Structure 1
Amino acid sequence: MTIAFMDMPTAASAALPHAGRRFAAFLFDMDGTLITSIDSANRAWTRWAAMRGFDPAHVISIMHGVRTVETMKRLGVADPEAEAAWITRTEIEDTEGVVPIAGVAEFLATIPAGRWAIVTSASRALAEARLARAGIAVPPVLVTAEDVERGKPDPACFLLGAARLGVDPVRCLVLEDTLAGLAAADAAGAAGLAITVTHSHPIATAHPAIRDYRGLAVAAGADGLAIVRSGPHGAG
């Protein structure tokens, strides 16, 4: 069965994702999963597309969830690295509208230290700028575009994140908002959970999906981490 990334119920009213499962660690994508940066990214890519003679709508439709340099290669530009650097500089300079996904701060606060990482297609400088704007502390393990030769949907980034946490990727839960990211999770052998709040058009996945983190927490036990309800009857 597939689940559309659209009009999903909030976590508080939906069935618990991966109910009964325990994980060694959580691996979070950043944009669209921990924070929303769509407005900032769209402004940068729209400016770039207009300067280079590309259709902005087409460019925006293919750039989410993958490394900027790979989008440039897909577009066939002469110097993908230089063009990607322009996008990154522009996005770092313009973080207006970058905010955390609803409930994410409370959710992260329930995960024990050293049991989660951020695995993003953004550069480290951009990741740090966006996380600072959203008020999310950079965790000890942050895997960025510079750390891998191939970006999502290649699993290298999630394999590296799990290795840096010292856990088996098969025992990890990957939280993602794109099909490329979920495909990378599958290829790494990890479980996947789709975050849907930033999607205005439906895309389909067989993975469980939630809109945001409101009403959810993480309970830690000897057998691992589980997603539970927050509040008096949950972990919080």
Structure 2
Amino acid sequence: MSAHDAVFNRAFGAFLFDMDGTVLNSIAAAERIWAAWAERHGVDVESFLPTIHGVRAVDTITRLNLPGVDAEAQAAFITEAEIEDVEGIVEIPGAAAFLKSLPANQWAMVTSAPRDLALRRMAAAGIPEPAVMITAEDVSAGKPDPAGYRLAAKRLGLEPADCLIFEDATVGIQAAEAAGAPLMVITSTHQHPIKTPHATIASYREVTLTIDHNGQLRLQKAN
């Protein structure tokens, strides 16, 4: 059985979701702010912007190794700018309704964004706040390190292998794989088709949720 089919043929204790690109689309806002920042710091915008998605701001800036730049201070500046600018942030089609259909103790959000920014973007997109949310402040190593997903599963009383992770970005997919969890890749914001062995959907309207007699979550392909 392929990995794509496998997620539709088993039960899960919980679902773990990335935020940006997975339950909401904040690309326009994020790229406006990061492009302006890159121009001020002499960084080539066109090659830089594809590297920002799914990664903590402090890791993005540290990776550039710019002389005289305080990565933590600049990351804080970026975060404040992103909290101020939520224009154009929208849910991935069907995401809010799908999340609201899940039992509160059986899903979590694992995002590379700081908590205040995550809450602001979720509110802008109409995404419900989860009982368990792992943000940039909760881990010492961001994605592709699996620490965030492992911590989310632990807080839900589960192993990562008992959870289905929903992701969109390469670093997030790598984090999910490293955590040893099954994976659903959301392709809504991808400009080019993604080559992946994992299951993919473009919209949450493509799947339906059922809860079996053991209280486990099951996905089915929508008719």
Q: What is the aligned counterpart of 2:161 among 153, 160, 170?
A: 170
Task: Give the whole-Å Cα distance in 1 for the aligned partners of 2:187 and 2:65.
Answer: 30
1:166 aligned partner, one-letter code: G
Q: Which position in structure 2 is the counterpart of 1:10?
A: none
Identity of aligned residues (%): 48
Q: Which position in structure 2 is the counterpart of 1:84?
A: 75
Which has more helix, going by share of residues? 2
Q: What is the aligned counterpart of 1:61 among 50, 58, 76?
A: 50
Q: Does 1:36 align with 2:3?
A: no
Q: With the length of structure 1 as denominator, give the TM-score of the two structures.
A: 0.88
Contact 1:107/1:216, CA 8 A, preserved across alignment: no
Task: Give the whole-Å Cα distance in 2 for the aligned partners of 1:36 and 1:16.
Answer: 26
- SS of residue in 2 equivalent to 1:74: helix
Q: Which position in structure 2 is the counterpart of 1:142?
A: 133
1:57 aligned partner, one-letter code: E
Q: Does 1:102 align with 2:93?
A: yes
Tell me how large the CA RMSD over aligned residues is: 1.8
Q: How far off is 1:223 after superposition?
A: 6.2
Q: How far off is 1:201 after superposition?
A: 2.5
Task: Give the whole-Å Cα distance in 1 for the aligned partners of 2:57 and 2:192.
Answer: 22
Q: What is the aligned counterpart of 2:146 among 155, 167, 174?
A: 155
Q: What is the aligned counterpart of 2:13 among 21, 24, 31?
A: 24
Task: Give the whole-Å Cα distance in 1 for the aligned partners of 2:73 and 2:145.
Answer: 23
- SS of residue in 1 equivalent to 2:218: strand
- SS of residue in 1 equivalent to 2:49: helix
4+ runs of 1 displaced by more than 4 Å? none
Gaps of 5+ in 1: 4-14
Q: Which position in structure 2 is the counterpart of 1:124?
A: 115
1:41 aligned partner, one-letter code: A
- SS of residue in 2 equivalent to 1:175: strand
Task: Give the whole-Å Cα distance in 2 for the aligned partners of 1:224 and 1:33.
Answer: 22
Q: What is the aligned counterpart of 1:50 among 39, 47, 70?
A: 39
Q: What is the aligned counterpart of 1:217 among 181, 193, 208?
A: 208
Q: Which position in structure 2 is the counterpart of 1:228?
A: 220
Contact 2:30/2:82, CA 8 A, preserved across alignment: yes
Q: Which position in structure 2 is the counterpart of 1:9?
A: none
Q: With the length of structure 2 as denominator, give the TM-score of the two structures.
A: 0.93
2:126 aligned partner, one-letter code: G
Q: Which position in structure 2 is the counterpart of 1:6?
A: none
Contact 1:65/1:178, CA 8 A, preserved across alignment: yes
Task: Give the paired residue count.
Answer: 219
Task: Give the whole-Å Cα distance in 2 for the aligned partners of 1:49 and 1:151.
Answer: 21
Q: How far off is 1:203 after superposition?
A: 3.6
- SS of residue in 2 equivalent to 1:204: coil
Gaps of 5+ in 2: none
Q: How far off is 1:224 after superposition?
A: 1.7
- Bigger relative CO (Cα 8 Å, ≥ 6 apart): 1
Contact 1:124/1:144, CA 8 A, preserved across alignment: yes
Between 144-153 and 110-119, report the one with greater CA deviation: 110-119
Q: How far off is 1:112 after superposition?
A: 1.4
Contact 2:95/2:127, CA 8 A, preserved across alignment: no
